[in-house]
């Protein structure tokens, strides 16, 4: 279960500066960091798919002016609720083991919580001990094993984190169940009945 780890917003820890993705000028930084570390080859279209739609779900870790880590995520309506997805996470080898990877994921999850996500999922190679331990420490559980999930033929674990809703979000969901409000799938924002009427008019 998610804990207060996701409610404490830390902009800087141990001299490391964390910041959100700004615009397309950050794209080469994301691509450089990820292409160097992940086994899956991604095209620029894949990066743009995530970064154009969910720029608020991408974060960087900096040592001075050197970016050494990044996380790329998205969130969507899944069945009847909002679900976050961690697509890519990397930390440069020279900076590992100092908590930056966890901090990047926590920042993205805080943003997901603020947008009403009820769960977060991702896939990790079954042999990726470091990533599996990182996510386990954050409360993720192994949901299922995906046979030959990656292009290199390796299996993956689907990991899942259930998020607690705030009282306000729970109240909004109750209203939604009573058809008083609906959630905008693209932004995750909540539309009240009155705003929907205005949009249709
Ligand atoms: C996975 C990765 C992002 C971790 O980044 P990091 O900054 O080193 O992670 P953290 O320092 O926040 O580690 C958090 C916890 O994860 C665990 N962990 C991380 N890397 C580990 C490793 N290589 N071996 C064992 N445990 C590890 C530890 O339990 C650690 O907790 P601790 O500080 O109490 O020991 C980094 O190793 C990486 O970029 N790997 C290559 C890309 C990758 O595999 N991405 C994930 C795809 S799903």
Quote the strand ranges of 64-184, DSSP E: 66-78, 81-91, 117-125, 141-146, 156-162, 181-183
The model's pTM: 0.84
Q: Residues 87, 119: one domain?
A: yes
Q: Residues 18, 59: one domain?
A: yes
Cα 168 to averaged position of ligand 1 atoms, centre (Å): 34
Cα 55 to averaged position of ligand 1 atoms, centre (Å): 24
Confidence band, pLDDT 50/70/90 cuts, at residue 37: confident
| Domain CATH number, residue 65 | 3.40.630.30
Q: Residues 177, 123: one domain?
A: no
Query: What pLDDT sits at residue 166?
Result: 73
To the nearest 10°, report the CA torsion of 61, 133, 8, 73: 60
Q: Residues 151, 174: one domain?
A: no
pLDDT tens readout for residues 94-143:
999 999 999 999 999 999 999 999 999 999 999 999 999 999 999 999 99
Q: Residues 177, 78: one domain?
A: no
Q: Residues 122, 197: one domain?
A: no
Higher model confidence: residue 6 or residue 84? 84
- Number of domains present in the structure of the chain: 2
Mutate to test the pocket of ligand 1, among 36, 97, 106 (most ligand atoms within 8 A of CB): 97
List residues bridging with 17 in a β-sheet. Answer: 12, 62
Q: Residues 178, 125: one domain?
A: no
Q: At what angle do helices 44-53 and 27-37 cross, to 10 degrees?
A: 130
Q: Residues 156, 175: one domain?
A: no
Q: Which atom of ligand 1 is nearest to the CA of 100?
A: 7
Domain that holds residue 27: 4-164
């Amino acid at each position: 279960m998610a804990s207060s780890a996701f409610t404490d917003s830390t902009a800087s820890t141990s001299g490391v500066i964390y910041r959100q993705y700004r615009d397309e000028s950050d794209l080469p930084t994301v691509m450089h960091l990820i292409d160097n570390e992940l086994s899956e080859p991604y095209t620029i279209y894949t990066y743009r798919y995530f970064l154009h739609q969910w720029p608020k779900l991408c974060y960087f870790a900096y040592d001075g002016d050197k970016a050494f880590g990044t996380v790329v995520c998205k969130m969507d309506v899944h069945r009847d609720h909002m679900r976050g997805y961690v697509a890519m996470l990397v930390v440069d080898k020279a900076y590992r083991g100092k908590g930056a990877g966890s901090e990047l994921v926590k920042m993205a999850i805080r943003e997901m919580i603020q947008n009403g996500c009820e769960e977060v999922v991702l896939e990790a190679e079954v042999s990726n001990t470091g990533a599996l331990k990182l996510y386990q420490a954050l409360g993720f559980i192994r949901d299922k094993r995906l046979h030959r999930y990656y292009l290199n033929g390796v299996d993956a674990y689907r990991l899942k984190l259930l998020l607690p809703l705030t009282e306000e979000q729970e109240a909004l969901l109750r209203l939604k169940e009573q058809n008083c409000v609906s959630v905008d799938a693209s932004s995750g924002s909540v539309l009240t009945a009155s705003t929907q009427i205005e949009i249709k008019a």
